[in-house]
Structure 1
Amino acid sequence: MAHTWDPERYLIHADERGRPFVELVARIGATDPAGVVDLGCGPGNLTALLAERWPDAAVTGVDSSPEMVAAADALGGRVVHEVADLRDWVAGAEPVDVLVSNATLQWLPDHLELLPALVGAVAPGGWLALQVPGNFDEPSHTTRRDLAAEEPYAAHLAAAGGVAVPSSHDPVVYLDALAALGCDVDAWETTYLHVLAATPEDPDPVLTWVSATGARPTLQALPDDVRPAFEAEFRRRLAAAYPVRADGTVVLPFRRVFVVARVAGGAR
């Protein structure tokens, strides 16, 4: 079942979501790229950083969500945004010098098979940088999965034709796949400890976080008369897994996988 994105909700924890992007891009060694593309640009706030780093580059943001691209366009600036499935973009792309995909490929179950095309979309000597969440065994995800498998929710989700569920691989899997394509690869992982404030306006910050991303397709697929019960139980289980501490904060551990690859060829 297709789902839509809410840029405003996604940006509630913009600082925490943006840090991995900054740390990913910092490892790209390009000095004067002519073309830079962000596949899965979302609301565009991070793509704008690419334009700041490489002021002479033509920077393009691509996202399959019209809502996200509209939010990105509203930022103004010189970045060009377009609505497209990243697989379609890759298939018809002219090679670029820097290709970034941040927290996007996990939505494509076959994204390992897409790596040769991604490498092919980068000019010789250019850079491919990707980051994907690697926290799918954490309660933030297993709680949703377990609850979605219970009735009456499982029947409704099956009737909706299933929902998108993100997944990824360990760093070494990406390293081996890209090295086999002739790339020089830097791969690593980081587990962030996001300290989220529980406030009267947002008493359940972990629910707010996951409902903007990984849990969103499930929530949207449930009928309006069923969703509130799911959300209430989801909230209760998440609160047990991520209790509010004495200082009014909740700690959300979040593992992320990073890969920066230099494509073979070109000047070294």
Structure 2
Amino acid sequence: MSPATGPAWDPQRYLAYADERGRPFLDLVGRVDAPDPRVVVDLGCGPGNLTSLLSDRWPGAVVTGVDSSADMITAASDRSRTGRLAFHRSDLRDWLSTANPGEVDVLVTNATLQWVPGHLELMPALVRAIAPGGWLAFQVPGNFDEPSHTLRAELADEPPYAEHTHGIADPRSHDAATYLRALQGLGCTVDAWETTYLHVLHGPDPVFTWVSGTGARPTLQALPADLRERFEDEFKRRLRVAYADEGRGVVLPFRRIFVVARTGS
């Protein structure tokens, strides 16, 4: 999910590696042992391809996908199912401020919280929205020290780009233990873990294609068109050095942090 005032998001670019992006979602939701929830919410639903899987898993539930990007919600709305699956546009913080306490049986937020500054402080509000005995499940990237991010940040700090990229959205996350302790302090039973996926990517400049749909997009959107092309060319060059293709695809290590918490009954 994008911040309410963030860059424009491209559903098609985001879906370029839909299978690889979807695997952590499946690993996350697979640990949610909710037999028959009535209300399921996906905060930061993006183009809705993964939200629809929640409707498939819990056919008796009303499933709602929420995202702050108009483009994402437009793409997701094609997947709506009358009475069962719907999408609407809202910023995550705004949604939390209006959610009825205890209304949601399963609250999922996948690769979203890293875009929300200070999101650890939102844990009480997230838990408050969940029914007694309900479930909170979220996943965030933990790869911000990898070249895919550090090279982008280093280049963005160089002239002539720095004057345009100062203060852009910068995704961040905590380690699994930090989330676990925060949610235990709120009375939840918590399962937290991390996994590093080794994605094998093919095609021209595949790591750039990956990050340009997510972590690098705010930087690219902040640049004027002429500088953006120069930036992209140099960024691709640096990524090719960091992620060499030896003829069998480029290996992109991607660490992700998972948390599944059950509220007290």
Query: CA separation in 1, counterparts of 2:220 and 2:97?
Result: 32
> How far apart are residue 92 of structure 1 and its match?
1.1
**Distance of 2:77 and 2:18 partners within structure 1:** 17
Write out per-residue CA displacement over residues 146-173 of structure 1, whole angstroms, 9 at most, x where no aligned residue. Answer: 1111111112223xxx210101010000
Aligned to 1:232: 233
Aligned alpha-carbon RMSD (Å): 0.9
* Mapped partners of 1:46, 1:157: distance in 2: 31
Distance 1:124 1:131 in 2: 22
Distance 1:195 1:96 in 2: 37
Q: Which residue of 2 aligns with 1:250?
A: 250
Determine the C-alpha separation between the residues in 2 that align with 1:118 and 1:189: 21
TM-score (structure 2 length as normaliser): 0.95
Question: In the alignment, which of 28, 41, 48 is matched to residue 45 of structure 2?
Answer: 41
CA distance in 2, matches of 1:93, 1:157: 34
Q: Deviations over 1:22-78 (max 9, x none)?
A: 000000010010100000000000000000010000100000001001101112434
Matched, 1:152 2:164: no
Amino acid paired to 1:83: R
Q: Which runs of 4+ in 1 moved over 2 A?
A: 75-78
Mind listing any 5+ residue stretches in structure 1 that lack a counterpart? none
Say if 2:61 is the partner of 1:57: yes
Counting only pairs closer than 5 Å after superposition, residues 82-161 of structure 1 correspond to structure 2 as 82-94=88-100, 95-158=103-166
Distance 1:157 1:151 in 2: 10
Report the Cα distance in structure 1 between the residues aligned to 2:78 and 2:33, rounded to whole angstroms.
30
The 8 Å contact of residues 106 and 135 in structure 2, kept in 1 or not, is answered as yes
Distance 2:96 2:163 in 1: 36
CA contact (8 A) 2:80 2:86 kept: no
Aligned counterparts, 1:171-210, within 5 A: 171-198=176-203, 203-210=204-211
Q: Secondary structure at the match of 1:225?
A: helix
Q: SS at the partner of 2:225?
A: coil
Could you tell me the percent identity over the aligned residues?
Answer: 66
SS of the residue corresponding to residue 206 of structure 1 reads helix
Work out the CA distance in 2 between the residues paired with 1:226 and 1:195. 30
- How high is the TM-score relative to the length of structure 1? 0.94
**Aligned partners of 1:136 and 1:32: how far apart in 2?**
36
User: Unpaired runs of 5+ in structure 2?
Assistant: none
Distance 2:229 2:74 in 1: 29
Deviation at 1:90, TM superposition (A): 1.1
Residue identity matched to 1:99: L
Q: Which residue of 1 aligns with 2:263?
A: 263
**One-letter amino acid of the structure 1 residue matched with residue 30 of structure 2:** A
Bigger mean CA deviation after superposition, 111-120 or 68-77: 68-77
Contact 2:111/2:141 (<8 A) preserved: yes
Of the three residues 20, 23, 31, the one matched with 1:27 is 31
